[in-house]
Amino acid sequence: MRRIISIALALTAALALTGTAWAAGTLKIAVPSNLNTLDPAKTKIGEEYIVNFLVFSGLTEIDRSGKTIPDLAERWTASDDLKTWTFYLKKGVKFHHGRELDAQDVITTVQRIQDKATGSVTRVNFEVIDKMEAVDNYTVRFTLKAPYAGLADIFSDRQARIVPRDRLDTLAKSPSGTGPFKLKTFTPGDRVELEKNTAYFVPGIPQLDAVVLRIMPESAAQASAIETGEVDLVWNLPLESIDQFKKNPNIAIDSVPTSTWDGIIMNGAHKPLDDTRVRHAISMAIDKKAMVELALFGYGTPTHTMIPPGHPFYNNDLKDTPDIAGAKKLLAEAGFPNGFDITIYTPVGRPTRERIGLAVREMLKPIGVKVDIQRVPWDKFINEVEGKQAFYVDGFYSRPTIDSSIYPWYHSNGSWNTTLWNYKNAEMDKTLDAARAARTEADQKTNYLKFQALALQDPPGVIPYVINHMNAYRKSVKGFQSSPMMWLDLRKVTVQ
C-alpha cells in the first residue's frame, strides 16, 4: 500500500510539473484589435501581420538590420540585366497539413497576389513579374517586365507569405502554412491560439509550446493584464502606458526605430480635397514637431514622407514648417477665403491616431477649417471609413524596401493609393518609375530626393512622423526583441 501511495504521489508531482512546464511554454500576448482575415494576401492590419509571420513563411525575410536573408529559398540568383531571377527552394519543407512545399505553391501564391480580384495591397509590387516557370519542384524562375533590383526583398513582405495551392479556400479562417506555429483555434473578437509546429524546417525552433493572442481594445485592460500576469507581452505598447510600466520591476520595455507612420488621409475623390491647393493648405498648417509631442509624447521623429530622417535618401534641404499665411492664401485661391467645415474620422483603439485627430482640429482653426471629429470602432473603420471617407487618420507599417514603402502609396497605379487617396501626378509617376528601375544607388537617391519635393508641393495627405515601435513584456519572457517591421519573431522566445 505504501508503494502504491508513493507511486501515486510521484505521478501527481510529475503531472504537476508537466502542467507547469507546458504553461511556461505558452506566451500570452495582448493586441488591441480583432483580426478580419487569416489569408496573408488579404491582410491589412498589424494584428493580422503577426499571424502572417508566425504561421507562414516567405521566400526571404528581413532581419533586424534590414538585410534580406533566406527563408524558404535557400538562395537566389539574378541575371546581369536584373530581369531574370531564379529562386532555389529548401527541400523537405512541409505545410502544416503535411504536404511538401514545391515550386508550384510559390507560383500560385504570386498569381493570387497579381489577381485584382484577390484585393491584395501588395499587388503593385508584383506587377513587375511578367512570367513564372517551375524549372523543377524546387526551382522557380521569374522573368520581369523591367530591371528590378529589389525582387528578393519584396518576397519578405507581410502579404507575400507562401500559401499551399491545395488549401486556398480555407486560408481566411483555417490557414495552413510552413511557419513555426500552426493555428489551433480562432475566435473572432476574443483570441487566436497557435501551437508549436513540431515539423518546422529549422531544427530546435520554436521553443514555445503555444502562443495566444488576446484581443484587448482598451489600453487600461492591457496594462492591468500584464501587471497581473494575465498576459506576458503587450504588443505595440500604448505610449501613455510607458511611464507606468517603467516603475514596475517585473516589466521590461523594448523599443526600436521604424519607418512606420501615421497619416492624415485626404481622399482626392471627394470635394474639396480634389483640389491640390486645398490639400497643400492643410499640409502647410500642420506643425509636425508639435504633432510628435502631442500624438507620440516624443517617441518618434518628424518627416516629409515615410522616408525617415537618418535614411541616406532623406531630403534635408526641404523646408517643412507651418506657414499659416501661405495656407490661407492657397485656400482663398481655391475659393475658400473663410475656410470650410469638414469631418475627420479617427479609429478607436489606435490612441496615436485619435490624438492626431484632436491636434488636426486645433491646427486647422487658424486657417478657417472647422473640423468635427468622429471616433469609429476599428472593425467599422476598416470597412466603412478606410478608402471611402474624405478625411481621416490612418497608419501603416514599415515595408522591406524603400520602393515598396513608397510606390504603392504615391504612384497613380499604386494599390494603396487607389485604396486611400486617389492621387494622380504624372511627374510623380515618372519619378517613381525611374527610381524603381535605377541601377545605381546614386540614381535612386536623385529620384527619391525629387519624390519628397513633389510630395510636399502636391501632397495627397500628410505624413507627420515616423514612430518608435515599443513592446512591454514581463521579465519572465526571455529572448524577445522588437522588430522594426512591427511583427513578432517568437522563434527563439521562452517563458520561465
pLDDT tens digits along 362-395: 999 999 999 999 999 988 998 999 999 999 999 9
- Tell me what pLDDT residue 31 has: 96
- CA torsion 223-225-227-230 (nearest 10°) is -160
Q: How sure is the predictor about 2, in pLDDT bands with cuts at 50, 70 and 90?
A: very low
**Closest C-alpha among 198, 204, 211 to residue 96:** 198
- Tell me what pLDDT residue 221 has: 93
State percent of the chain over pLDDT 90: 78
- Tell me what pLDDT residue 18 has: 38
- Tell me what pLDDT residue 10 has: 43
376: CB partners within 8 A, 6+ apart: 345, 346, 347, 348, 384, 385
Q: How sure is the predictor about 66, in pLDDT bands with cuts at 50, 70 and 90?
A: confident
Q: Please state the rounded mean pLDDT for residues 450-471.
A: 96
276-285 vs 324-333: helix crossing angle, rounded to 10:
160
Whole-angstrom Cα distance, residue 195 to residue 209?
6
**Closest C-alpha among 181, 146, 151, 176 to residue 163:** 176
- Tell me what pLDDT residue 16 has: 39
Whole-angstrom Cα distance, residue 238 to residue 245?
11
Residue 59 C-beta-side C-alpha neighbours within 13 Å:
25
The H or E element that residue 31 is part of is strand 26-31
Q: Please state the rounded mean pLDDT for residues 452-463.
A: 97
- Tell me what pLDDT residue 267 has: 97
Whole-angstrom Cα distance, residue 481 to residue 459?
35
Q: Quick check: 20 pLDDT over 60?
A: no
402-410 vs 426-437: helix crossing angle, rounded to 10:
160
Whole-angstrom Cα distance, residue 405 to residue 307?
8
DSSP 393: E
CA angle 467, 471, 474 (to 5 degrees): 165
pLDDT digits (tens, 9 = 90+) for 284-328: 999 999 999 999 999 999 999 999 898 889 999 999 999 999 999
- CA torsion 406-177-198-22 (nearest 10°) is 70
Q: What stretches of 214-275 show up as alpha helix (H) in DSSP?
A: 219-228, 242-246
Peptide bond into 351 cis (omega under 30): no
**Closest C-alpha among 73, 131, 81 to residue 102:** 73
Q: What stretches of 137-241 show up as alpha helix (H) in DSSP?
A: 151-154, 219-228
Q: Quick check: 4 pLDDT over 90?
A: no
- The alpha carbon of residue 448 and the mean position of all alpha carbons in its chain are separated, in whole angstroms, by 22
246 or 109, which is more confident: 109
Q: Please state the rounded mean pLDDT for residues 162-185.
A: 97
Q: Quick check: 21 pLDDT over 80?
A: no
Q: Quick check: 11 pLDDT over 70?
A: no
Average pLDDT value over all residues in the chain = 92
Q: Which residue has the cell 500576469?
A: 229
Q: Quick check: 167 pLDDT over 70?
A: yes
Q: Quick check: 6 pLDDT over 90?
A: no
pTM assigned to the model: 0.76
> Which of the given ranges, 125-129, 339-343, 349-353, 441-445, has the highest pLDDT on average?
339-343
Whether the CB-CB separation of 234 and 222 falls below 8 Å is answered with yes
State percent of the chain over pLDDT 70: 95
Q: Quick check: 169 pLDDT over 90?
A: yes
Q: Which residue has the cell 469609429?
A: 376
- The grid coordinates listed for 321 are 514648417
Whole-angstrom Cα distance, residue 302 to residue 495?
37
pLDDT digits (tens, 9 = 90+) for 322-335: 999 999 999 999 99
Q: Please state the rounded mean pLDDT for residues 27-52.
A: 95
pLDDT digits (tens, 9 = 90+) for 137-150: 999 999 999 888 88
pLDDT digits (tens, 9 = 90+) for 205-237: 999 999 999 999 888 899 999 999 999 999 998
Contacts of 248-254 with C-beta under 8 Å, sequence gap 24+, read 250/474, 250/475, 251/226, 251/227, 251/472, 251/473, 251/474, 251/475, 252/472, 252/473, 252/474, 252/475, 253/470, 253/471, 253/472, 254/470, 254/471, 254/472, 254/473, 254/480, 254/481, 254/482
Whole-angstrom Cα distance, residue 302 to residue 359?
15
